[in-house]
Amino acid sequence: MGTSKKEPADRKKEGLKFEEKNRERRAELKGKQEGKRAARKAVTGKQAEWAQKGIEEEKQQEIKSKKETVEFKKRKKKTEEEIKIFQAKKREEEERLEVRRKERADERKAQLEYLKEMSNRNRWQVNKDKKIQEAESKKLSKKTEADRKVQQTKLQSDVTSRQTLRQTQKDAQKKRGAADIKERSSLHDLRTTARGDQSKLKAQEQASMSQLDSRIARDRAIAESYQNPAQKQMEIRKVETVEKRERKRIESKYIKLAEAIEVKANQGAERSKREAKLTRDKASSDERKGKAATQSEKNRTRLQANREALETKQAADKTEAGEIIDARKFDVAE
């Protein structure tokens, strides 16, 4: 009995659930239908828009077609006029060419007659022109050869001049160098000899002083041997006086001898320097003279080459003038 009481309530709940589901389905179906209607409406709008756009394009195309038709008619009319003008000009050009052809035919006829008339004259004229051209060609050839020879002579003169100048400078430098070497060698020998003489002199001076010392020592010993004090003192003073005098004499003698050696050495040095200077001066003078002579020879050679070239060119001009005179003797006009 408990179970039979619950069944109506359950059926009511189920009925409500079913009804709820039906409402949801109807709402969902309604939404779908509204979506479809909106989609159809949108498609219809686009189709209308496309249809309107097609109409506008057809209108524009029609306007364009009419405009092109008008332009074509204008161009066709203009082309027909241009064709007429072209044909008229062509006829005028053909007529002008025909007149020009007749004129040229007349000119050729007159020219042929003239050429026939002048054939003999032209033959002589050609021969004359040929001889004149040959004369000019020979003249130019001779002048060109003269210029080439001048240039060659000048170049050779420059080469020879440079070689001679280098040799002159080399010889002068060699002579000056030899003079310098000789001067240095001579001065060295003089100084060596002077030092040797001074050394010998110093040894002689020392030997003389040693001899004096020995003699003074003996004399002082003798003076010291006297018993009388007064005589002893007097003898000692004599010895000291002699020593002082002799020592001064020896010193003075060897000073003079040393000075003589120095003077001799200085004189020899001055002589060597003078001789070296004379040699160097002569070498420099010979070098200047050699350079001047070389330059003079170079100038003379170039001047002679220019003179010979001028004579050759003048002779070529004279020969050409004579040949032209000979060629013109056969002028038909003359």
Altogether, the residues listed in the chain come to a count of 334
pLDDT digits over 94-145, tens only? 788 888 888 878 777 777 776 666 666 666 666 767 777 887 788 888 888 8
| Structure confidence at residue 86 as a pLDDT band (50, 70, 90) | confident
**Which two tokens mark 95?**
């007529």
Contact 302, 154 (CB under 8 A): yes
Q: What is the DSSP string of 154-208?
A: HHHHHHHHHHHHHHHHHHHHHHHHHHHHHHHHHHHHHHHHHHHHHHHHHHHHHHH
Does this model's pTM top 0.75? no
| Structure confidence at residue 332 as a pLDDT band (50, 70, 90) | very low
pLDDT digits over 292-319, tens only? 998 998 899 889 989 988 888 898 888 8
pLDDT digits over 5-54, tens only? 446 566 667 667 777 777 787 788 777 777 777 766 665 666 667 667 76
Cα gap 51→262, rounded to integer Å = 142
**Which two tokens mark 220?**
């002082």
Fold of 144-328: Helix Hairpins (1.10.287)
| The pLDDT of residue 208 | 92
- Domain ranges across the chain: 144-328
